[in-house]
Chain A
Amino acid sequence: MSAYLELQGIRKQFGDANVLNHVNLKIAEGEMVTLLGPSGCGKSTLLRCVAGLTEIDEGQIILAQKNIVHVPPRNREIGMVFQSYGLFPNMTVSENIEYGMKMRGASKEERRKRSDELLAIVDLEDKRHHYPRQLSGGQQQRVALARSLAVQPKVLLLDEPLSALDAKIRKSLRTEIREIQKRFNMTTIFVTHDQEEALIVSDRVCLMNKGNIVQEGTPEAIYTTPRTEFVARFMGSYNVLTRPEVLSLFGQVDSGSESFAIRPESVVLLSEETRSEAIGTGKHIVDGTVHSTTILGNVLRYSVLAAGVRLTIDALNDSRSLRVGQNSPVSIALDASRLLHLEKEGA
């Protein structure tokens, strides 16, 4: 992969705390990369370092073959959208969008033309003379997006752009952002703490923890093959098991790992008939009791206690799904090939 933006050994300390530990990252032109992680993992700091809003202690930032570490933010040709929108309240929508072009000395006609184009793209043509406070949160964020695209930056940085919006707007805007990013073939770094958002919008996900990128890969790879316990827990709903727990469920295990993970949909809840069918298929059948059942729309989520281990099990919520009350005895089928062997943290 030829890197358009390359971060080499970025280190940043705030006081005694290491916020970024020699972070390396290569991003290809037109790629959308997500920095995902819990709050305080350093993802926003990394983004601000790329923008030049935070100085780095060590490392190189190469953008289009040029080291930009000592270039001030205004000359980096990097656009950024903030969680709090950062729109100028004293300017109208079109004045906001044209501000960057004005600073770069573009003519009035040029500015007008470009802002009209962008307003059409973000679907806010009728709001050009409105002030930011007259717009909804979603509209304001679209203006912010248009404003940062107006100056044709080399890289677009999105710092949790959807976190301040309500769920419905968040879902539609993330699709819109992805479409616009593809349309402009814009090299983009998207920061979020929401794993669903990350999986949906990005070409590549970098999961960060404690100032390191702990795993990176396609959304598919990150979701299906978490490397460590942290990744498995963060990507959500994985059953993370210790070695003794795995031994009590499977009887034996052919690896030296200390921790394991299994997806809730790979465990099957058995009824009396299906139990007899399952015998002899090579699956491990364990008896247990249902602790609770939750309906998550099209999915039923059971919490089952089997062989002293609490497991989450997901099943499609249809006519065939098992309706079982609390504390009813059930059996579950476990497939040893679905068990993921996790590496030690930091390995």
Chain B
Amino acid sequence: MENVKKAGWTHRVVVTVLMVYLLLPLLATFLYAFAKEWQATILPERWTLEWFSQLFGDVRFLDALWKSFYLCAISVALSLVVMLPAVFVITVYFPKWESFMKGIVVLPYAVPGVVAAVGLIRAYSQGPINIAGTAYILIGAYFIVILPYMYQGIRNSLLTVSAVDLLHSAELLGATQTRAFINVILPNIWPGIITSTLLSFSVLFGEFVLTNMLVGGHIQTIQVYLYQRLGESGHLASAIAISYFLFILALSMILMKLGQKMNRGIEG
């Protein structure tokens, strides 16, 4: 990319303003998490690690963090296992169903979290599937919440690499459909899949309304924990927010690196 025009000052200003807008609240939260006293000055008067030591000294925090992590991980993994073959089959063999699927997957946007939660609790607190208040109902709900991201992400990756043409080429060269999927389709849609996975994971990690209503009293995720301790101290809440931000950041970076390693052929 040698002939990319150098960005003019207007572009720089726009980007700078955007960055400030996005990062300023984060920076303030960050400072607040380390502040001992911060009232009448621009920067805190005294610094402390008290909030973090309090936080990490609390077993419930690490417990909540771990719970959030594995609940989200299970939901995303489950979604991947179900959606990847499903979207592949629809895109390649039943393109007519696409418009129908498009409608279905945006339904989670159309139903407000509160409504969904009440409906789910009613439906699953009696009868054969009595799972209200358990992790199962949460995982089920999470699966639905990330449906749009997973569907669109996988579908777009398939379309971008013209999966149908690749599949046909491989088949005519003598590959079975399963083999063609594994050594031709999968390696090429991987970057897109990683992105949707990350996005879904972050969305679930920050989800509060559904979680709190469905299992708030039974299972303490990081968001539920954050909400409970919000009232105690703003500093502590800031520390929680910062910790979980860094956690997501680290996780994203690991996944990205992993994705790049698997795709040295595609990016490079």
Contact = CB atoms under 8 A, between A and B. Distances in A.
Interface in B36-88: none
Given A90-B188, A90-B266, A91-B265, A82 B168 contact: yes
Contacts of A144: 169
A86 B169 contact: yes
Contact of A90 (B162, B171, B187): B187
B219 interface: no
A156 B171 CA distance: 15
A86 B175 CA distance: 14
Interface stretch (A37-45, A58-66, A71-79, A335-343): A71-79
B169 A80 contact: yes
Contact of A80 (B168, B179, B263, B268): B168
A199 to B, nearest CB: 28
Interface string B158-183: 00011001101111111110010000
B184 interface: yes
B183 to A, nearest CB: 8
A74 B167 CA distance: 11
Given A84-B162, A88-B166, A73 B172 contact: yes
Contact of B165 (A73, A76, A82, A100): A82
Interface string A88-125: 11111000000110011000000000000000000000
Given A73-B168, A82-B165, A131-B268, A89 B188 contact: yes
Contacts of A103: 170, 173-175, 179
B131 to A, nearest CB: 41
B266 A89 contact: yes
A151 interface: yes
Contacts of A84: 162, 165
B181 to A, nearest CB: 12
Interface in A138-153: 144, 147-148, 151
B174 A74 contact: yes
Contacts of A78: 172
A72 B172 CA distance: 9
Contacts of B166: 86, 88
A253 interface: no
Contacts of B184: 88, 90
A51 interface: yes
B172 A51 contact: yes
A147 B173 contact: yes
Nearest to A104: B174
Given A89-B265, A90-B263, A100 B174 contact: yes
Contacts of A53: 168, 171-172
B42 to A, nearest CB: 50
Nearest to B177: A74
Nearest to A87: B169
Interface in B147-163: 161-162
A135 to B, nearest CB: 14
Nearest to A77: B174
Given A80-B172, A100-B174, A86 B265 contact: no
B265 A148 contact: no
A32 B166 CA distance: 25
A88 B168 contact: no
Contacts of A73: 168, 171-172
B165 A86 contact: yes
A91 B168 CA distance: 16
Contact of B175 (A74, A76, A80, A147): A74
Interface in B178-212: 179, 184, 187-188
A172 B168 CA distance: 27
A91 B183 CA distance: 10
A90 B181 CA distance: 13
Contacts of A80: 168-169, 172
Given A74-B174, A82-B168, A86-B162, 4 more contacts: A72-B171, A87-B169, A89-B161, A89-B188
5 contacts: A53-B171, A82-B169, A86-B162, A131-B268, A148-B173
Interface of B: 161-162, 165-166, 168-176, 179, 184, 187-188, 263, 265-266, 268
In the A-B complex, the 3 residue pairs with the smallest Cβ-Cβ separation, listed nearest first, are A100-B173, A86-B169, A103-B174
